[in-house]
Structure 1
Amino acid sequence: MNTLELKSVAELQDLAFYIPDYQRGYRWTQRQVEDLLNDIFEFSQKDNAGIYCLQPLVVVPRSSDEQPLDKAHATKVNMQWEVVDGQQRLTTIRLILEVLGRFRFYDITYQTRRDSAEFLNGITTVEAAGEKAEEKAKNNIDFYHIYLAVTVICEWLKEKMDEKKKKLFQDILLNRVKFIWYETKEDPKEVFARLNIGKISLTNAELIKALLLNKSNFDSSDDDKIRLWQQEIAVEWDVIEYALQSNEFWLFLNAPGDERPTRIDYVFDMICRCDLLKCKDEKEPDATDNFRTFRYFYHYLAVQKQKEISLAQAVRTIWENVREIFHTLREWFDDMELYHYIGYLIYMGRNVDEIYKQWTGPDNKSGKFGFIEKYLKEEIKKTIPCKDIENTVYEVESAQNKGGSKTNCRPILLLHNLQTIINQNRILGANAKYKNGVFYKFPFHLYKSEGWDVEHIDSNTENGLNDIQSQREWLLNAYFGLQDKAYQTLRDQIQEFFKTRKGDEQSADSDKQTVRNEQFVELRRQIEDISDNNRLDQNEKNKIWNFTLLDSSTNRSYGNAIFPAKRRVIIGKDQGKRFSLPTIDENEEIVLGSAENGSSSFIPPCTRYVFLKYYNTASFDPNAWTKDDAETYKNNIKEILKDFLS
């Protein structure tokens, strides 16, 4: 049913092509048109070259009853071919022929854009339907791209060729440039869907790989030597790609969502952006050009060829740059301090290219430690907007406190986690038996992948505890927190409250509810009086000592909960458990809740320490985040970050 053959452009003369409505209009960019012209021209310069093969032109013959009438003669036109794939190249070749003076070499008509055929047929004339082509192009996107293509072709021919060269170029175009002609009798829409749905374009890296491993680059008749060199690049290429496929490594350098089929592209993009080969094209780069990086390397090899420099040496230079960048990124990732400091700066929006330039620049003469002290730490200081954490109010901004939003806490809290980890690794590494191993790395891949909040430790909104469930939970947590013998009377009162108020939650009697609330308020007052002077007031709740980092799902899971409820959720998330509330058994005795398997989340170490009361070693009140707890937490932040808050 299908025919596959090569057809030269000359063999398309007088054929009629039909562009159906499921195809988009002509959309080739100026760069794509120029690329095709350059490729054909370069091919034409080769001695004894064979053919220049264009990508497939997939066509379906149209039945006789589908053929349009030639209005001038009321007869059927020549056999039409419905173009399923390849219309962009087909149109571009037609435009090149128009500029070369071969008018209407073959016909192209459109099912839904009939004016496009008229514009195409008159594009090389100064006037088109009484208006200049340029004026028409402003009002129609199809016309616009056709007009730009013709402009590029005219300028390119004028720059590259005299009349003699044009004649040779036209001869090559007609006779040695060939389409892969694929004729099918299948349903054209099904063929179109099969060809285009799920189609994956070649990446820059794949094109560069073909460029580098091209045998013609190597000026040697020793096939074994060439094969060895190609194999060496291919093996190292796979090693780099495999390493970058690790999300732990990839998200250290990138943000979630920055995905690409081949991640080694990242290295080639860095070489291009930083112009490490010192061969930046003088032309202004096209922002929409997806193959800018490939063109950079293509241009570099072309320049080396013009300078009569060995292409084998040029390829080695490229690959040495690839190796250097990858080994540098790997060193950053594997080093305890570089990983955390550079990872922090990247997260805060610093450019990897700039960090790399500083690392490899002439000013970095003192190695890793000088780079950390003279560059990284100084850059980190610039990311902290409010260094006076003792007096800054982060939640609100008033005439008295010019702090700003609580997002100003984020750099401090993240850096506190990172420096805490660095310090712990140093302490453990100083022990001879551990031999300076890295014991823990902050997982940027998890931190970046989840939605994170700067959240209050002790809720900023006063919880009135008006519902039965909140009252029950608060009292049960108080019961287990009042362990000292001096609090036995209060523990007995809590026990008695549950016994006497049993069944009230099922009752609709408003009087019983009122009595219950009054008794609860009195019990709560007595319990809070024990440490009333050790609670944070409303203004104090908006300072750094009452903030920590939490992923948004954990934050939403407890909302405006009391401290022990938040603590229970955090411990559960850290352990992959779901802890149920303490309950009253059938004998009216208070018993601890059970633990079931649940979802887990990464909990930053300092957040874990907050809810485990790690910072306050002098006292422990599991029922509240006290001022003593907050004070020791704040002092730890100041001590850990003293190099950055000065």
Structure 2
Amino acid sequence: MSLRPVSALLNEHFFIPSYQRGYRWTALEVKDLLDDIAEFRLSSHNNPRDSFYCLQPVVVKKKHHEWELVDGQQRLTTLYLILRYLKEMAAPNEFGCYSLRFESRPHSEQFLQDISPELAQDNIDFHHIVEAWETINSWFSAKSAEDKTGFLATLLGSGNSGSKNVRVIWYQLHDDADATTVFSRLNHGKIALSNGELVKALLLQSANFVSGGRSALHQQQRLAQEWDEIEKRLQQSDFWYFISNQQVESNRIEFILSIIAAETDSPVPRTHPSYLFLTFASMMKHAPEDPRHIEKLWARIRQRFMMLNEWFENHETYHLVGYLISMGETIRSVITLHNASQNKPHFILLLKERILHQVHPAINLKQVNSEEFPQLLAADISALDYPDKRLRALLLLFNIAILLCDKQSLRFQFSRYKNDRWDIEHISAVSSQIPGDVPGQKAWTKNIRDHLRPDDNVMEPDDKLRRAKNRLHQLAAGLLAHEPFDADKFSSLFNRVQKTLNKKRPQALDNSIGNLTLLDSTTNRSYKNAIFPIKRLRIIEADKNGTFIPVATKNVFLKYYSRSVDNMTFWTIDDHHHYQNAIGNTLANFFQGGTQ
């Protein structure tokens, strides 16, 4: 391995083997290279005499009179195009240029020597070569003759006598090395630096800290420490899933960086994989001559983080902002609301207005303060039926509103809500939920047999119902005692259980909101299609074992909203209506200002 100036490559001959793809650099990468060399040229006046701009490695293997180019095709092809352009403006014999031969794409070699834009659509290689050539022409067209001459002098400087130059890391493989294996290892085994890591390196460059000495070192160390502290905070699941719905393992600070980038008029397309890094590089490169520019930029990053942290720490904004993010709102849209607000109460009002639009789009903010608002809300809620898309948003909001309106110190666990799969669960099973496979049927029958044991039915005050329960226990035990399992008899048992134990609730209410709640799918699958008392016991068991059960779901199965709880066997029509009324009353209180 060695460092070689570009000028030392001009007499070499390279060939690109067939295992490599064609030229793929876009205008953005080409312009970045030109900008970097130009910036190095201007900044190197005050640098040590041996300073140079270094390109990434060029990996080669000697093959007769040529070099097999194992890695570095994109860089050398782009340099070739730049040298071609500069040769046209220089004396014809002032310098030569290395050659590029394509083992499996001879047309590309010819095209590089005679670039014809009208052929750009003939193949993908031509397209990218033309794009690069036009970018180079456009970039140099805006430069003076002195700039062009100075650029060429820097690009081809020998490094002797104090001249600045551009160099490549020249890595020559041993004669016995297998070039294809090396290529595969280089291109498939790379762990690319993330945008966050690149921005951090950009900010921590020593040139950004102009005071020099121990003070500059202290500034660097302080910025690095604060960066790490922000990343550490973002790594905490409760904070991360408050502001984000994405499962990101590392470099979560990119979330904050993306907020700053979005507030910037960036020349880089957001779809570009290096959008964040290139945007910050552009911000720093084109910033006014201000020695405190980095300090101010870092202050913006910290300020955005501290604002999100403040929302997280506040009980009310935590739930309102967290709810909107869970429903798909972007953090940018929430920041826009914050910027439009006059003070914190106004910000809370704007958040509630956005939430109202999410769950009740037919009701506007002007109606919230009217006496008819609770009736409008109740009518809208009662009209919802499973599987209306608004049900999930409404049931989640009900949980949030309980924690805010009842002045509870508990916080909704957005991290658990987002990492678990959640179902809209029927409180009392409906007839359409009959298990479809034999294992599911057996599990359901075993639940009935165990739950309706005669000893447990002794305390049943209704003698007729006690006998019915005992009979269902016998049928379930008899069905399980025989193999093969009889699917027809199971269907008869299922319908009989539904008729006996769900008889006090009209079938028309099965899919209305008074029979629905939120539950994680793991808990739901453990008792799906079970009767109400079995579900209730499973909920209590799951809660004891540390499973996250939303407060409204827990309340439902404890019949918290019911006026009469003398019978835990049924989810009755009265239970249904009391629960639905509780949803309406809680949300009316929430929207009309009854929060912390």
- TM-score, length of structure 2 as denominator length: 0.83
Quote the offset at 1:111 in angstroms.
2.9
Task: Return the match for 2:318 from 332, 339, 346.
Answer: 339
C-alpha distance after superposition, 1:155-206 (max 9, x if no partner): 11111132x4323322221221111101012222332233233423333333
1:443 corresponds to 2:413: yes
The answer to whether residue 342 in structure 2 is matched with residue 364 in structure 1 is yes
Question: By how many angstroms is 1:620 displaced?
Answer: 4.0
Once the two structures are TM-superposed, the CA of residue 303 in structure 1 deviates from its matched residue by: 3.9
Q: SS of the counterpart of 1:561?
A: coil
Q: Structure 1 residues 346 and 469, CA, compared in 2 at 3 Å: closer, same or farther?
A: closer
Shift of 1:325: 0.9
Shift of 1:575: 3.7
Backbone CA RMSD of aligned residues: 3.4
- Answer whether contact 1:94 1:104 (CA < 8 A) is retained: no
User: 1:613 maps to what in 2?
Assistant: 559
Same amino acid, percent of matched pairs: 36
**Alpha carbons of structure 1 residues 510 and 341: separation in structure 2 relative to 1, 3 Å:** closer
Which residue of 1 is the match for residue 575 of structure 2? 629
1:384–1:135 Cα change, 3 Å: same
The equivalent of 1:299 in structure 2 is 282
Which one of 1, 4, 8 corresponds to residue 7 of structure 1?
A: 4
Whole-angstrom CA distance in 2 between matches of 1:413 and 1:19:
61
Asked if residue 154 in structure 1 is aligned to residue 137 in structure 2, the reply is: yes
Which residue, out of 76, 85, 106, partners 1:99? Answer: 85
Question: Compared with structure 1, are the counterparts of its residues 260 and 159 closer, same or farther at alpha carbon in structure 2 (3 Å cutoff)?
Answer: farther
1:570 aligns with 2:539: yes
Q: Does the CA contact (< 8 Å) of 1:454 and 1:550 recur in 2?
A: yes
Task: Say whether residues 1:422 and 2:432 are aligned partners.
Answer: no
Letter in 2 for 1:148: E
TM-aligned CA deviation for residue 460 of structure 1? 3.4
Cα distance, 1:499 vs. partner? Answer: 6.6
Counterpart secondary structure, 1:100: helix
Give distance in 1, aligned partners of 2:431 and 2:153. Answer: 81
User: Which one of the candidate residues 168, 183, 188 is aligned to 2:179?
Assistant: 188
- CA shift for structure 1 position 604: 1.6
Partners in 1 of 2:591 and 2:387 — Cα distance?
18
Instruction: State how far apart, in whole Å, the 2-side matches of 1:87 and 1:269 are.
Output: 32
Map of 1:483-502 to 2, 5 A cutoff? 484=459, 486-488=461-463, 491=466, 494-495=469-470
Please give the alpha-carbon distance, in whole angstroms, between the structure 2 residues aligned to 1:206 and 1:642.
Answer: 47
Measure how far apart 1:543 and its partner are: 1.6
Name the aligned partner's letter for residue 125 of structure 2: D
Judging changes above 3 Å, is the alpha-carbon distance between structure 1 residues 488 and 59 closer, same or farther for their aligned structure 2 residues?
A: same
Separation in structure 2 between the aligned mates of residue 263 and residue 21 of structure 1, nearest angstrom: 39
Other-structure match for 2:353: 378
Question: What pairs with 1:506-545 in structure 2 (closer than 5 Å)?
Answer: 506-507=481-482, 532=503, 535-545=504-514
1:330, distance to aligned residue in structure 2 (A): 0.7
Q: Per-residue deviation at 1:80?
A: 1.6
- In 2, distance between residues paired with 1:206 and 1:468? 54
Q: Deviations over 1:88-143 (max 9, x none)?
A: 111100111111227972222223323222222222xxxxxxxxx22322131111
> Deviation at 1:329?
0.8
**Residues 581-609 of structure 1: per-residue CA shift (max 9 Å, x gap):** xxxxxxxxxxxxxxxxxxx7432221122
Q: Which residue of 1 aligns with 2:209?
A: 218
| 1:630 shift after superposition | 1.3
**Which residue of structure 2 lines up, in the alignment, with residue 52 of structure 1?**
53
Which deviates the most, 553-562 or 188-197? 553-562
Deviations 1:489-511 (A, max 9, x none): 65367557767997565458999
Aligned to 1:84: 70
1: CA distance between counterparts of 2:526 and 2:85?
68
Secondary structure of the 2:180 match is: helix
Assess, with a 3 A threshold, how the Cα gap between structure 1 residues 38 and 501 changes in structure 2: closer, same or farther: closer
- 1:558 deviates by 3.6
Q: Which runs of 4+ in 1 moved over 6 A?
A: 401-404, 463-469, 499-502, 508-511, 516-525
Give 3-state SS (helix, strand or coil) of 1:618's partner.
coil
Query: Using the alignment, how far apart are the partners of 1:475 and 1:383 within structure 2?
Result: 44
1:379-398 correspondence runs (5 A): 379-385=354-360, 390-391=378-379
Check whether the contact 2:3–2:170 (CA below 8 A) recurs between aligned residues.
Answer: yes
Bigger drift between 289-298 and 327-336 goes to: 289-298
Query: What are the residue-to-residue correspondences of 1:190-209 with 2, within 5 Å?
Result: 190-209=181-200
Q: Aligned partners of 2:434, 2:147: CA distance in 1, in Å?
A: 88
Q: In 2, distance between residues paired with 1:465 and 1:20?
A: 60
Larger mean CA deviation between 209-218 and 18-27 belongs to 209-218
Amino acid of the structure 2 residue aligned with 1:200: I
Unaligned runs of 5+ in 2: 89-94, 158-164, 364-375
In structure 2, the CA distance between the partners of 1:569 and 1:342, relative to structure 1 (3 Å rule), is same
| Structure 2 SS opposite 1:383 | helix
Aligned to 2:33: 36
Q: Distance in 1 between matches of 2:353 and 2:75?
A: 54
Q: 1:496 to 1:444 in 2, by over 3 A?
A: closer
- Give the match for residue 228 of structure 1: 218
1:364–1:199 CA distance, 2 compared to 1 (3 A): farther
Alignment counterpart, residue 252 of structure 1, candidates 242, 246, 260: 242
2:54 aligned partner, one-letter code: C
Distance 1:403 1:88 in 2: 58
Q: Which residue is 1:238 aligned to?
A: 228
Task: Name the CA distance, whole Å, in 2 between partners of 1:464 and 1:287.
Answer: 49
Q: Which of 94, 99, 120 is the equivalent residue of 2:112? A: 120
Of 136-145 and 567-576, deviating more is: 567-576
Q: 1:644 to 1:502 in 2, by over 3 A?
A: closer
3-state SS in 2 of match to 1:108? strand
1:253 shift after superposition: 1.1
Query: Which residue, 71, 94, 102 being the options, matches 1:110?
Result: 102
Distance verdict in 2 for CA 1:11–1:607, change over 3 Å: same
User: Are the aligned partners of 1:417 and 1:605 in contact in 2 as well (CA < 8 Å)?
Assistant: yes
* Cα drift, residue 549 of structure 1: 1.0
Q: Does the CA contact (< 8 Å) of 1:453 and 1:552 recur in 2?
A: yes
Cα distance change on mapping 1:99 and 1:473 into 2, 3 Å? same
Tell me whether 1:179 sits opposite 2:168 in the alignment. yes
Cα separation, 2, equivalents of 1:509 and 1:229: 77
Answer yes or no: is the 8 Å Cα contact 1:358–1:364 preserved in 2: no
Q: Deviations over 1:22-60 (max 9, x none)?
A: 322211110110011111112222316521111111111
Q: Tell me if 1:267 matches 2:250.
A: no
Q: 1:492 to 1:291 in 2, by over 3 A?
A: closer
Q: 1:413 offset after TM fit, Å?
A: 0.5
In 2, Cα distance between equivalents of 1:523 and 1:94: 81
Report the Cα distance in structure 1 between the residues aligned to 2:134 and 2:205, rounded to whole angstroms. Answer: 33
The corresponding residue for 2:431 is 461
User: What is the aligned length?
Assistant: 554
Report Cα offsets for 1:206-248 as digits up to 9, x if no partner: 3333333333333435x12212222221111111111111222
Deviating more after overlay: 471-480 vs 332-341 = 471-480
- For residue 464 of structure 1, report the CA deviation from its aligned partner: 7.4
**Structure 1 residues 356 and 91: alpha-carbon distance in aligned structure 2, compared to 1, 3 A threshold:** same
Q: Higher helix proportion, which one?
A: 2
- Offset, 1:456: 1.9
Distance 1:264 1:167 in 2: 42
